[in-house]
A and B are shown apart, each in its own frame.
Chain A
Amino acid sequence: MKSSVIIFPGSNCDRDMSVALTKFGFKNKMVWHNDNDLPESDLVVLPGGFSYGDYLRCGSIAGKSKIIDSVVKFAKSGGLVLGICNGFQILTETGLLPGVLQQNKYLKFICKNVFIKVNNKESKYFKNINKNILELHIAHNEGNFFCTNNELKSIEDNNQIAVSYCDEKGISNKESNPNGAIKNIAGILNKEKNILGMMPHPERMIDKYLSGEDGSIFFQNLIGNLK
């Protein structure tokens, strides 16, 4: 399986993502934001970080960079595009995913482990996943997902909520919502379910000596679904 990780100026999880993808069997290539074309890929990843310093608005400048045209084309033709953290923000800025990511409710950067539950197993990302509640790590200042009522209705009607924040037992409520995201949304899919944006970082949880290992489950399952 071939993957591509896009590097924007200010990306800082690009290497971590490439390490994780390689560990679980992807042949990964790094792609510079100023390139025109994507290499042949089964998965394109927009990594976390602070693309363009998050100036103006998180992800907005990256959403206009040269490579994005190819990413949009790839996504529209059904290719798998995964955006983590800043990558999620970029995907909403390009319009590939609905909604926006606002500043966290308590106006602080949050870096800690959280639990998310898988709501939707229709996508290649979560199909067949053997664990419904995953412990992953978040590290963001703008992860508070928000959208209009109409958008929310459409998201729900089309079963686009991929993962939502919850507690250890799977209960989603105010207490288990780290950033104020509407409906505890941690990650969403597009209608066609080939584009996933999520705030948690699976690439930071890929062996037992790190903060946890549930990231491994995510990647193993993903590559399994692609084979």
Chain B
Amino acid sequence: MKVDQKVAIEHGLKKEEFDKICELLKRVPNIVELGIFSAMWNEHCSYKSSRLHLKKLPTKGKEVIQGPGENAGVINIGDDDAIVFKIESHNHPSFIEPYQGAATGVGGIMRDVFTMGARPIANLNSIHFGSTQHKKTKNLLRGVVRGIGGYGNCIGVPTIAGQTCFDESYNGNILVNAMTLGLVKKNKIFYSKAAGLNKPVIYVGSKTGRDGIHGASMASAIFDDKIEEKKPTVQVGDPFTEKLLLEACLELMAGDSIISIQDMGAAGLTSSSIEMASKGKLGIELNLNKVPCRETKMTPYEIMLSESQERMLIVLENGKEQLAKKIFDKWNLDFAVIGKTTNSKKIELYFDNEKVADIPVDTLVENSPMYDRKWKKSKLPKKNKIEKDKFKNLKITNVLSKILSNPNICNKDWIWQQYDHTVMGDTIQKPGGDAGVVRIHGTNKAVAASVDSSAVYCWAHPLTGGKQIVCESWRNLVSVGAKPIAITNCLNFGNPEKDENMGEFVECVQGLGEASKYLDFPVVSGNVSFYNETKDKGIKPTPSIGGVGLIKEYKKMVTLDLKKLNNIVLVIGKTEGHLDQSIFNRDILNQKNGPPPEINLFNEKNNGETLLNLMMNDLIKSAHDVSLGGIIVALAKMCIKGKKRNKIK
């Protein structure tokens, strides 16, 4: 097939980008090479619209062992233990095929974590759907929940927390963000950087099929009416194989055979091999005839771009091949030596004794496009006047029952009871609280994790909204008695080529950055999902924040249910009477404009630290963060969970 501008554009590349490829290669790429460029240069893999802004996020901290740039972030939790964690989106595939989209989202993020040598100990998720009245919502919700459960339950990792939100802006673009935490010893962390010449490059896991080809490119495009035609770009998950892969990898990792390891996620063999070579400043040579294929007559193009799941690429120490093969044989997984590291700093691919691609690694990574896109600053909306007349005829009990039945507030037991949340036997706080908590097996420690978003606030004013979610994540962790350590973020936005959407992104990121810097709550990993837009309609800006904190003595963990009669209820923090963007204003008064509540980082930090102090002194029986629905909803939940009444003055 002859490659020209038209073919390049069909691959999702822009005209200028194609020109740049030709200039970098000093020739026109062949079709395999073009496929590789399109996979590496798309938004999903290259972060070309976001890189510039993500650089501004605070990523360092006393407990940070590894910040962004690896498969996942790593933090120190004392005694040689470390937590590896990350959140990732699988939005586009989940809208096309909800079960497989969500399932492979969970599978992908778990692989990111165990690739680093960590055994996954907890899963979380943040899922957003369109209006409950929209015709697609029910089906999508059912599929996504089943998919998340189907994968996580089978692997045997508890799903300890999450959130499910509904808003009409997701009618045409649902969001599925999955997060995993893993536990590793500090001296047994594995990285993706290849090192050393002539080291064998090993392929392990499932066979390569024709599924998911161009998945990453699909995730970098907006949707139109023909979205159903994209079904073949969605990968199909096999949690059983992943479970075997997890056990086999951890078994191999217990020794010292692995130099570098990388999971084949978005853009499959292409991105995994290139990443290893790029980080190690090496070249990689692969013989594609050696790649285990599920289907016959697969072309080099298909092999390189397939996103078949449950596969890993490993650079081994010389002479360790037999030892490694024995382990993978035991677990009935494919194992093949498919190439070696070289000093060429190029990706060189062979198929049927012919060289089918020859690309300098830096052209795919360092020289990939980076855009400083135009963006529009948002103004802070004017506050609405509180008109007391409007409240006159409202009865508080009616309003409360209406608010409690809002799909964003109501009880979600029926969702999280479809996720195994107790396997591994260390879940000490289940979903339904402020954060999920799992013990570090065999120790007195526990980690708490929570995932939050507040799209309405981000939509009303991105800068404030960005700060708000970081604060909420912090507050949720504090509420269970955990010292917040670090966050991972999943930035779900509309089309970055539109000033307004790009503005939302830039300002949300700025807000995130300010809050996480102030709270000493750095960002250690994350991902960006742009182009959440269907037929010109984008989603509300929805950064999801996954926060992780440490409880040094798990017996001091706090839950939100009221415990005893006659205990005193305190509100910490000043109640300003802000109503704009509250559920009350939006749902009851139908007033959807106005600014989100202001954030005062000083107070946030002060209040949180004070509360933690009180908890460590065993003075707090129950705690709950006041968020959606305000104090009355917070109190109602504490009463319902504790089966107690409450008298408020």
- Which A residues are closer than 8 A to B by beta carbons? 9-10, 12-13, 15-16, 19-20, 48-50, 52-55, 108-112, 137, 139, 141, 201, 203-204, 206, 209-211
- In the complex, the chain A residue whose C-beta lies closest to that of B149 is A109
A211 to B239, CA, bound (A): 26
Q: Which one, B240, B332, B417, B422, contacts A55 given CB within 8 A? A: B240
Q: Offer 23 A-B interface pairs, CB within 8 angstroms, sorted by A.
A: A9-B240, A9-B244, A9-B331, A10-B240, A10-B243, A13-B156, A16-B423, A48-B423, A50-B154, A52-B240, A53-B239, A53-B243, A54-B240, A109-B146, A109-B150, A109-B418, A109-B419, A111-B416, A111-B421, A111-B422, A204-B422, A211-B427, A211-B430
Q: Which one, A108, A110, A210, contacts B425 given CB within 8 A? A: A210
- In the complex, the chain B residue whose C-beta lies closest to that of A113 is B422
Contacts of B150 in A (CB 8 A): 109
A87 to B554, CA, bound (A): 31
Apart from A10-B244, A112-B417, what are 16 other A-B pairs with CB-CB below 8 Å? Answer: A10-B243, A15-B424, A50-B153, A50-B239, A50-B240, A109-B150, A110-B418, A111-B421, A139-B422, A139-B423, A204-B422, A209-B439, A209-B555, A210-B422, A211-B422, A211-B427
- In the complex, the chain A residue whose C-beta lies closest to that of B425 is A16
**Chain B interface size, under 10 / 10 to 19 / 20 to 34 / 35 or more:** 20 to 34
- Which B residues are closer than 8 A to A by beta carbons? 146, 149-150, 153-156, 238-241, 243-244, 331-332, 413, 416-428, 430, 439, 554-555, 557
Contacts of B554 in A (CB 8 A): 209
Closest chain B CB from A21 CB (angstroms): 12
Closest chain B CB from A204 CB (angstroms): 5
A206 to B427, CA, bound (A): 12
Contacts of B149 in A (CB 8 A): 109
Contacts of B153 in A (CB 8 A): 50, 109, 111, 139, 141
Q: Are B156 and A12 in contact (CB under 8 A)?
A: yes
Q: Are A206 and B425 in contact (CB under 8 A)?
A: yes
Contacts of A211 in B (CB 8 A): 422, 427, 430
Closest chain A CB from B579 CB (angstroms): 37
Q: Which one, A12, A137, A206, contacts B155 given CB within 8 A? A: A12
A16 to B413, CA, bound (A): 24
Closest chain A CB from B145 CB (angstroms): 9
- In the complex, the chain B residue whose C-beta lies closest to that of A204 is B422
Q: Are A204 and B425 in contact (CB under 8 A)?
A: yes
Closest 8 CB pairs of A and B: A12-B156, A53-B240, A16-B425, A50-B154, A139-B420, A209-B428, A109-B418, A204-B422
Contacts of B555 in A (CB 8 A): 209
A201 to B158, CA, bound (A): 14
- In the complex, the chain B residue whose C-beta lies closest to that of A137 is B422
Contacts of B155 in A (CB 8 A): 12
Closest chain A CB from B291 CB (angstroms): 23
Closest chain A CB from B441 CB (angstroms): 8
A16 to B158, CA, bound (A): 12
Contacts of A20 in B (CB 8 A): 425
- In the complex, the chain B residue whose C-beta lies closest to that of A16 is B425
Contacts of A16 in B (CB 8 A): 423-425
A145 to B421, CA, bound (A): 23
- In the complex, the chain A residue whose C-beta lies closest to that of B424 is A16
Q: Are B422 and A10 in contact (CB under 8 A)?
A: no
Closest chain B CB from A131 CB (angstroms): 20
Q: Which one, A19, A50, A210, contacts B243 given CB within 8 A? A: A50
Closest chain B CB from A177 CB (angstroms): 15
Contacts of A137 in B (CB 8 A): 422
- In the complex, the chain B residue whose C-beta lies closest to that of A11 is B156
Contacts of B416 in A (CB 8 A): 111
- In the complex, the chain A residue whose C-beta lies closest to that of B142 is A108
A16 to B438, CA, bound (A): 14
Contacts of B244 in A (CB 8 A): 9-10
Contacts of A112 in B (CB 8 A): 413, 417
A174 to B425, CA, bound (A): 29
Closest chain A CB from B425 CB (angstroms): 4
Contacts of B421 in A (CB 8 A): 111
Closest chain A CB from B238 CB (angstroms): 7
Closest chain A CB from B510 CB (angstroms): 40
